[in-house]
Amino acid sequence: EPEVTQTPSHQVTQMGQEVILRCVPISNHLYFYWYRQILGQKVEFLVSFYNNEISEKSEIFDDQFSVERPDGSNFTLKIRSTKLEDSAMYFCASSVLTSGPYEQYFGPGTRLTVT
Amino acid sequence: GNSVTQMEGPVTLSEEAFLTINCTYTATGYPSLFWYVQYPGEGLQLLLKATKADDKGSNKGFEATYRKETTSFHLEKGSVQVSDSAVYFCALRGEGNTPLVFGKGTRLSVIA
Protein backbone atom coordinates (compact mmCIF):
# COMPACT_ATOMS: atom_id res chain seq x y z
CA GLU A 1 0.00 0.00 0.00
CA PRO A 2 1.43 3.41 -0.90
CA GLU A 3 2.51 5.54 2.03
CA VAL A 4 3.94 8.93 2.89
CA THR A 5 7.59 8.78 3.94
CA GLN A 6 9.61 11.33 5.91
CA THR A 7 13.31 11.80 6.55
CA PRO A 8 15.05 12.02 8.87
CA SER A 9 13.12 10.33 11.64
CA HIS A 10 14.96 12.40 14.24
CA GLN A 11 16.93 15.63 13.77
CA VAL A 12 18.91 17.38 16.46
CA THR A 13 20.06 20.91 15.75
CA GLN A 14 21.39 23.91 17.59
CA MET A 15 19.36 27.06 18.05
CA GLY A 16 19.80 29.44 15.13
CA GLN A 17 20.63 26.72 12.62
CA GLU A 18 18.64 25.99 9.49
CA VAL A 19 16.93 22.64 9.09
CA ILE A 20 15.18 21.01 6.16
CA LEU A 21 12.64 18.29 6.77
CA ARG A 22 11.85 16.06 3.83
CA CYS A 23 8.72 14.24 2.79
CA VAL A 24 7.79 12.04 -0.14
CA PRO A 25 4.01 12.17 -0.57
CA ILE A 26 1.97 9.43 -2.20
CA SER A 27 2.68 9.63 -5.91
CA ASN A 28 -0.73 10.54 -7.33
CA HIS A 29 -1.59 13.00 -4.57
CA LEU A 30 -1.82 16.69 -5.35
CA TYR A 31 -2.31 18.41 -1.97
CA PHE A 32 0.47 18.45 0.59
CA TYR A 33 0.48 19.53 4.21
CA TRP A 34 2.74 20.06 7.18
CA TYR A 35 1.48 19.73 10.73
CA ARG A 36 3.37 19.80 13.99
CA GLN A 37 2.84 18.38 17.44
CA ILE A 38 4.68 19.86 20.39
CA LEU A 39 5.25 17.16 22.99
CA GLY A 40 2.06 16.41 24.88
CA GLN A 41 -0.03 18.88 22.89
CA LYS A 42 -2.44 18.65 20.01
CA VAL A 43 -1.53 18.38 16.36
CA GLU A 44 -1.53 21.81 14.71
CA PHE A 45 -1.78 22.72 11.05
CA LEU A 46 1.13 24.67 9.58
CA VAL A 47 0.67 24.93 5.82
CA SER A 48 -0.95 23.39 2.78
CA PHE A 49 0.50 23.38 -0.72
CA TYR A 50 -1.10 22.83 -4.10
CA ASN A 51 -0.04 23.46 -7.66
CA ASN A 52 3.40 24.67 -6.54
CA GLU A 53 2.14 27.32 -4.20
CA ILE A 54 0.92 27.72 -0.65
CA SER A 55 -2.86 27.44 -0.55
CA GLU A 56 -3.33 28.06 3.15
CA LYS A 57 -1.13 28.69 6.18
CA SER A 58 -1.66 29.13 9.90
CA GLU A 59 -0.39 31.91 12.12
CA ILE A 60 2.36 29.55 13.27
CA PHE A 61 3.83 29.53 9.75
CA ASP A 62 5.75 32.78 9.95
CA ASP A 63 8.66 34.10 7.88
CA GLN A 64 11.14 31.62 9.29
CA PHE A 65 9.25 28.76 7.64
CA SER A 66 9.14 27.93 3.95
CA VAL A 67 7.99 25.00 1.86
CA GLU A 68 9.10 23.78 -1.51
CA ARG A 69 8.51 20.99 -3.96
CA PRO A 70 11.95 20.92 -5.58
CA ASP A 71 11.22 18.00 -7.89
CA GLY A 72 8.38 15.68 -8.77
CA SER A 73 8.53 13.69 -5.57
CA ASN A 74 9.91 15.58 -2.57
CA PHE A 75 8.10 18.13 -0.44
CA THR A 76 10.26 20.01 2.06
CA LEU A 77 9.78 22.21 5.10
CA LYS A 78 12.62 24.59 5.86
CA ILE A 79 13.07 26.38 9.15
CA ARG A 80 15.58 29.17 8.61
CA SER A 81 16.75 29.92 12.13
CA THR A 82 15.50 27.39 14.62
CA LYS A 83 14.32 28.34 18.09
CA LEU A 84 13.94 26.15 21.16
CA GLU A 85 10.16 26.30 20.78
CA ASP A 86 10.40 24.72 17.33
CA SER A 87 11.14 21.42 19.03
CA ALA A 88 8.25 19.20 18.01
CA MET A 89 7.19 16.26 15.88
CA TYR A 90 6.57 17.42 12.33
CA PHE A 91 4.13 15.45 10.23
CA CYS A 92 3.76 15.60 6.48
CA ALA A 93 0.46 14.60 4.90
CA SER A 94 -0.91 14.34 1.39
CA SER A 95 -4.29 13.93 -0.22
CA VAL A 96 -5.61 13.29 -3.68
CA LEU A 97 -7.87 15.76 -5.38
CA THR A 98 -11.02 13.89 -6.29
CA SER A 99 -14.72 14.42 -6.03
CA GLY A 100 -14.86 12.07 -3.05
CA PRO A 101 -13.75 12.62 0.54
CA TYR A 102 -10.31 14.14 0.69
CA GLU A 103 -8.60 11.81 3.12
CA GLN A 104 -5.21 12.99 4.31
CA TYR A 105 -2.52 10.35 4.70
CA PHE A 106 0.17 11.07 7.26
CA GLY A 107 3.82 10.17 7.32
CA PRO A 108 5.51 8.78 10.44
CA GLY A 109 6.88 12.18 11.43
CA THR A 110 10.26 13.80 12.03
CA ARG A 111 11.13 14.56 15.61
CA LEU A 112 13.01 17.87 15.69
CA THR A 113 15.01 18.67 18.80
CA VAL A 114 16.48 22.16 19.07
CA THR A 115 19.16 22.56 21.73
CA GLY B 1 -13.86 28.87 13.26
CA ASN B 2 -13.96 25.11 13.32
CA SER B 3 -12.99 23.37 16.54
CA VAL B 4 -12.99 19.95 18.19
CA THR B 5 -13.38 19.18 21.88
CA GLN B 6 -12.63 15.75 23.22
CA MET B 7 -12.65 14.35 26.70
CA GLU B 8 -9.59 14.86 28.80
CA GLY B 9 -7.44 11.88 29.56
CA PRO B 10 -5.78 9.82 30.56
CA VAL B 11 -8.25 6.97 30.47
CA THR B 12 -7.21 3.71 32.14
CA LEU B 13 -9.26 0.58 31.54
CA SER B 14 -8.93 -3.11 32.21
CA GLU B 15 -8.74 -5.48 29.28
CA GLU B 16 -12.17 -6.32 27.82
CA ALA B 17 -13.77 -3.20 29.29
CA PHE B 18 -16.07 -0.96 27.23
CA LEU B 19 -14.52 2.21 25.87
CA THR B 20 -16.11 5.56 25.10
CA ILE B 21 -14.12 8.66 24.20
CA ASN B 22 -16.35 11.67 23.74
CA CYS B 23 -15.84 14.13 20.92
CA THR B 24 -17.93 17.15 19.99
CA TYR B 25 -17.32 19.66 17.28
CA THR B 26 -18.16 23.15 16.09
CA ALA B 27 -18.19 23.73 12.36
CA THR B 28 -20.07 25.48 9.60
CA GLY B 29 -21.54 23.47 6.78
CA TYR B 30 -21.00 19.75 6.56
CA PRO B 31 -17.59 18.71 7.85
CA SER B 32 -16.04 15.27 7.59
CA LEU B 33 -15.10 13.67 10.90
CA PHE B 34 -12.17 11.43 11.74
CA TRP B 35 -10.54 9.50 14.52
CA TYR B 36 -6.76 9.15 14.33
CA VAL B 37 -4.65 6.93 16.57
CA GLN B 38 -1.04 7.45 17.60
CA TYR B 39 0.70 4.41 19.05
CA PRO B 40 3.76 4.99 21.25
CA GLY B 41 6.67 6.27 19.17
CA GLU B 42 4.71 6.27 15.92
CA GLY B 43 2.91 8.72 13.68
CA LEU B 44 -0.76 9.34 13.09
CA GLN B 45 -2.87 6.61 11.59
CA LEU B 46 -6.41 7.06 10.38
CA LEU B 47 -8.64 4.80 12.48
CA LEU B 48 -12.05 5.60 11.00
CA LYS B 49 -14.02 8.35 9.36
CA ALA B 50 -17.53 9.54 8.52
CA THR B 51 -18.38 12.08 5.88
CA LYS B 52 -22.07 12.81 6.42
CA ALA B 53 -24.71 12.80 9.13
CA ASP B 54 -25.70 9.38 10.49
CA ASP B 55 -22.71 7.69 8.84
CA LYS B 56 -21.00 5.15 11.08
CA GLY B 57 -17.27 4.70 10.69
CA SER B 58 -15.78 1.44 11.93
CA ASN B 59 -12.41 -0.29 12.01
CA LYS B 60 -10.65 -2.83 14.25
CA GLY B 61 -13.71 -3.08 16.51
CA PHE B 62 -13.92 0.70 16.99
CA GLU B 63 -17.02 2.61 15.92
CA ALA B 64 -18.16 6.21 15.79
CA THR B 65 -21.41 7.69 14.48
CA TYR B 66 -21.67 11.17 12.98
CA ARG B 67 -24.47 12.84 14.94
CA LYS B 68 -25.31 16.22 13.49
CA GLU B 69 -28.10 16.94 15.99
CA THR B 70 -25.67 16.69 18.90
CA THR B 71 -22.55 17.68 16.89
CA SER B 72 -20.78 14.61 18.23
CA PHE B 73 -18.58 11.78 16.99
CA HIS B 74 -17.93 9.63 20.06
CA LEU B 75 -15.50 6.73 19.72
CA GLU B 76 -16.57 3.36 21.16
CA LYS B 77 -15.19 -0.14 21.42
CA GLY B 78 -16.94 -3.02 23.12
CA SER B 79 -13.89 -4.82 24.47
CA VAL B 80 -10.50 -3.13 24.57
CA GLN B 81 -7.17 -4.92 24.44
CA VAL B 82 -3.76 -4.00 25.81
CA SER B 83 -2.68 -3.34 22.23
CA ASP B 84 -5.25 -0.52 22.00
CA SER B 85 -3.15 1.59 24.36
CA ALA B 86 -2.45 4.77 22.40
CA VAL B 87 -3.44 8.40 22.04
CA TYR B 88 -6.69 8.96 20.15
CA PHE B 89 -7.36 12.18 18.28
CA CYS B 90 -10.73 13.35 17.05
CA ALA B 91 -10.48 15.61 14.01
CA LEU B 92 -12.65 17.38 11.50
CA ARG B 93 -12.17 18.78 8.07
CA GLY B 94 -14.40 21.44 6.63
CA GLU B 95 -15.90 21.19 3.18
CA GLY B 96 -13.38 20.88 0.37
CA ASN B 97 -9.70 20.17 0.73
CA THR B 98 -9.13 22.13 3.93
CA PRO B 99 -6.72 21.38 6.77
CA LEU B 100 -7.63 19.02 9.55
CA VAL B 101 -8.51 20.49 12.93
CA PHE B 102 -7.58 18.20 15.78
CA GLY B 103 -8.74 17.78 19.33
CA LYS B 104 -6.19 17.65 22.11
CA GLY B 105 -6.03 13.87 22.14
CA THR B 106 -7.00 11.32 24.76
CA ARG B 107 -4.43 8.89 26.10
CA LEU B 108 -5.83 5.40 26.64
CA SER B 109 -4.01 2.85 28.77
CA VAL B 110 -5.36 -0.69 28.87
CA ILE B 111 -4.05 -2.95 31.61
CA ALA B 112 -4.17 -6.73 31.64
Q: What is the pLDDT of residues B54-78, one digit of tens each?
A: 999 999 999 999 999 999 999 999 9
Task: Specify the pLDDT at position A99.
Answer: 46
Task: Specify the pLDDT at position A101.
Answer: 61
Query: A83-98: string of b/e by CB count within 10 Å (b at 16+)?
Result: eeebbbbbbbbbbbee
Say which of B42, B44, B93 has its CB closest to residue A43: B44
A70/chain B closest Cα distance in angstroms: 22
Note whether A104 contacts B93, CB cutoff 8 Å. yes
Along the 115 residues of chain A, how does pLDDT read in single tens digits?
Answer: 778 999 999 999 999 999 999 999 998 898 999 999 998 888 999 999 999 999 999 999 999 999 999 887 899 999 999 999 999 999 999 988 744 567 888 999 999 999 9
B68/chain A closest Cα distance in angstroms: 18
In angstroms, how far is the first alpha carbon of chain B from the final one? 41
Taking the Cβ of residue B23 and every Cβ of chain A, the question of whether any pair is shorter than 8 Å is answered with: no
B81/chain A closest Cα distance in angstroms: 23
Residues of chain B with C-beta less than 8 angstroms from the C-beta of A21: none
Task: Specify the pLDDT at position B70.
Answer: 96
**Amino acid type, B75:** L
- Residues paired with residue A57 on neighbouring β-strands, in sequence order: A47
Q: How far apart are CA A1 and CA B42, in angstroms?
A: 18
**Confidence category of residue B40, pLDDT binned at 50, 70, 90:** confident
B109/chain A closest Cα distance in angstroms: 15
Note whether A11 and A110 are within 8 A (CB): yes
Note whether A56 and A68 are within 8 A (CB): no
Which chain B residue shows the shortest CA-CA distance from A43? B102
Burial of A73 (0-12, 13-18, 19+ CB in 10 A): exposed
Smallest CA-to-CA distance from A61 within A39, A90, A40 is with A90
Mean pLDDT, range B29-53, rounded to an integer: 90
Q: How far apart are CA A1 and CA A23, in angstroms?
A: 17
Chain B residues 33-52 within an 8 A CB cutoff of chain A: 36, 42-46, 49, 51
Burial of B10 (0-12, 13-18, 19+ CB in 10 A): exposed
